[in-house]
Amino acid sequence: MLFSLHNKKAAITGAGSGIGLAIAQVFAQQGAEVYILDLNEASAQAAVQSILDQGGKASAYACDVSNQPQVKAVFQEIGTLDILVNNAGIAHIGNAENTSEADFDRVMNINVKGVYNCLHAAIPLMKAKGGGVILNMASIAATIGIPDRLAYSTAKGAVLSMTLATARDYLKQNIRCNCISPARVHTPFVDGFLSKNYPGQEAEMFDKLAKTQPIGRMAKPSEVAYLALYLCSEEAGFITGCDYPLDGGFTRLNN
């Protein structure tokens, strides 16, 4: 079977919903034993149940990725690892003037330190097994200017740089590291954002946001998951240190 993950153990952060959940479900379908890490334990448990109902293997862990002792404890409990997907993250809207220090620190702690914490805890497990694959979730905001996304863009730029640094540092340990940079993806977060900020105008604003992608729509979480599957499979064994825009033409075709 192409893109098989049989006998692979995969930890996925922020996998209680959205993109992380889609990745967990696809990985489990392809035979991986999936470890779902999420701040919301109820969401993590529900995600696990959705995988178990389809005959897959999964376990849930309540985990705040910004808390290093907590992250280390979870990975020590997992014990062995083949794949790490650093997906957990938060969004933020604001520029240099109206972004508070507290909000900036919160975005950095989760979106940047959270990735570092998981790398710090997972890489020794991969080295012990003789190799592994790391996939980080960056964003097109890492490489192009998006209005009112100062903290978020800064954080995702750091994730892209950590991807390159990690790929370089662990070449000889047989650990590959890549990242995906999505544009807008239709997740529950988008629906919640629209209902909170544009009550009564959800459909109109959704259509407006969707059309900012030249392809004319937002990505589906499953489309991100399928690219993640490829990059974490043996078929992508020659790929490391790469960033993959998954953006409906946003980066190159938006004139």
List, for residues 36-88, the tens digit of each pLDDT value.
999 999 999 999 999 999 999 999 999 999 999 999 999 999 999 999 999 99
In this structure, the answer to whether residues 59 and 172 fall within a common structural domain is: yes
Task: Mark whether 110 and 197 lie in a shared domain.
Answer: no
Whether residue 208 has pLDDT greater than 70? yes
| Whether residue 177 is found in the same domain as residue 195 | no
Sheet with 175-182: strands ordered across? 57-62, 33-38, 9-13, 83-86, 132-137, 175-182, 243-246
Same domain, yes or no: 140 and 191:
no
The secondary structure of 161-216 as a DSSP string is HHHHHHHHHTGGGTEEEEEEEE--B--HHHHHHHHHHSTT-HHHHHHHHHTTSTTS
Q: What is the DSSP letter of 200?
A: T
Residue 132 confidence (pLDDT): 98
Span 92-109, mean pLDDT?
97
Catalytic site residue from 152, 198, 226, 230: 152
What confidence score (pLDDT) does residue 255 get?
Answer: 65
* Owning domain of residue 204: 187-218
Kindly state whether residue 211 falls inside one of the protein's structural domains: yes
pLDDT, tens digit (0-9, with 9 covering 90-100), for 119-131? 999 999 999 999 9
> Nearest 5°: phi and psi at 80?
-125, 150
Q: Are strands 33-38 and 83-86 parallel, antiparallel or unpaired?
A: unpaired
**In a shared domain, residues 94 and 209:** no
pLDDT value, residue 1: 86
Q: Is residue 229 part of a domain?
A: yes
In a domain, 67, yes or no: yes
Q: Are residues 40 and 107 in the same domain?
A: yes
> Which has the closest alpha carbon to 111: 150, 57, 168?
150
Same domain, 132 and 201: no
* In a shared domain, residues 30 and 45: yes
Q: Is the pLDDT of residue 193 over 90?
A: no
How much is the mean pLDDT over the chain?
Answer: 96
Measured distance CA(129)–CA(229) in Å, rounded:
20
**Looking at the 3D structure of the chain, how many domains does it have?**
2
Q: What is the CATH number of the domain that holds 131?
A: 3.40.50.720
| pLDDT above 70 (res 174) | yes
Q: Are residues 106 and 196 in the same domain?
A: no
pLDDT tens string 218-246: 999 999 999 999 999 999 999 999 999 99
Is residue 34 classed as helix, strand or coil in its secondary structure? strand
Residue 152: active-site member? yes
The per-residue pLDDT for 201 is: 92
Helix (H, G, I), strand (E, B) or coil at 113: helix
198 and 226 both lie in a single domain: no
**What pLDDT sits at residue 211?**
93
How many other β-carbons are positioned within 10 Å of the β-carbon of residue 69?
Answer: 9
pLDDT higher for 155 or 254? 155
φ and ψ of 36, to 5 deg: -100, 115
- Let me know whether 116 and 202 are in one domain: no
Report the distance separating Cα 208 and Cα 193, nearest Å.
14
Distance CA 152, CA 135 (A): 19
